[in-house]
Amino acid sequence: MRKENKLALKRQRAEQVNQAIQIIADHGRRFFYSQTVNRYASMEVDHRGKVWFIDYYSGKRVFTHETVWGGRWRGFTHGGMLKDVVKAFRDYICTGEPMHPGYLGPERSFDESNIWGYDDEGMKVVREQAGALPVFRQPVAVTA
C-alpha cells in the first residue's frame, strides 16, 4: 500500500476516534472536555504518520508514541486511566485493529458502577453511541 493511502487511512481513523472523544466528552463527567476554556480534546496524524493528542485543558500537542528519553507526555492534564484510553486510541489509529468495548467506562468488580464515575444513563449513552463506531470491536451476530 502506498504511503499516501496509509496516511489517509490513519487520518480517517483519527476522525473516528475524535467522534468517540466528542461522545465521551458530552456525557457524564465530561472527560476530554474543558468547560473553562470550552475545548474538546482531539487526535491528529502528522505528515509522518505519527499520532498526536491535543489536550483539552492545556491545548498542548502531546506526542503519544514511545521515545528513547522515556516518553513523558508533557502537557497531558489527566491521569493514567485516560492516558491508557488515549494509547489505545493511538494504537487503533496506527493499526486499524478495533479496541475492546471495555475501554468505555470499565465496570468495577465489587459493585455496579464504572471506574469513570459516570452516571448510569450517561455511561449507557456513551457505550451505545461510541461503541457503535468502527473504533470499537462490534459484537458478532450469532446465526442459528
Q: What is the pLDDT of residues 100-131, one digit of tens each?
A: 998 998 887 777 778 898 998 999 999 999 99
Q: Which of 5-9, 11-15, 83-87, 109-113 has the lowest mean pLDDT?
A: 109-113
Q: Which residues pair with 51 in a beta bridge?
A: 45
Model's pTM, two decimal places?
A: 0.89
Q: Which residues pair with 112 in a beta bridge?
A: none
Residues 42-89: tens digit of each pLDDT: 999 999 999 999 999 999 999 998 877 776 788 888 878 898 999 999
Residue 25: HSE in the Cβ half-sphere, 13 Å Cα cutoff: 18
Nearest C-alpha neighbor of 53 from the set 35, 70, 71: 71
User: Ramachandran region of residue 41, left (φ > 0), alpha (ψ -120 to 50) or beta?
Assistant: beta
Nearest C-alpha neighbor of 19 from the set 50, 42, 53: 42
Residue 141: HSE in the Cβ half-sphere, 13 Å Cα cutoff: 2
Beta strands, E only, the chain: 33-34, 39-40, 42-45, 51-54, 61-63
